Amino acid sequence: MKRKDVLFIIGLTMLMGILWVLGELVMGLWVAVVPRAHVFWTTGIIILTVIISVWHSMLEDESDRTDPKTAKYYRKIEKRKNKHNKKHKR
* Model confidence pLDDT, tens digit, residues 4-39: 888 999 999 999 999 999 999 999 888 888 989 999
* Least confident interval from 24-28, 48-52, 67-71: 67-71
For residue 13, give the H/E element and its range. Answer: helix 3-25
Q: 21 by DSSP, 3-state: which? A: helix
Measured between alpha carbons, how far is 58 from 82 in angstroms, rounded to an integer?
Answer: 35
* pTM > 0.75: yes or no: no
At residue 10, the pLDDT reads: 93
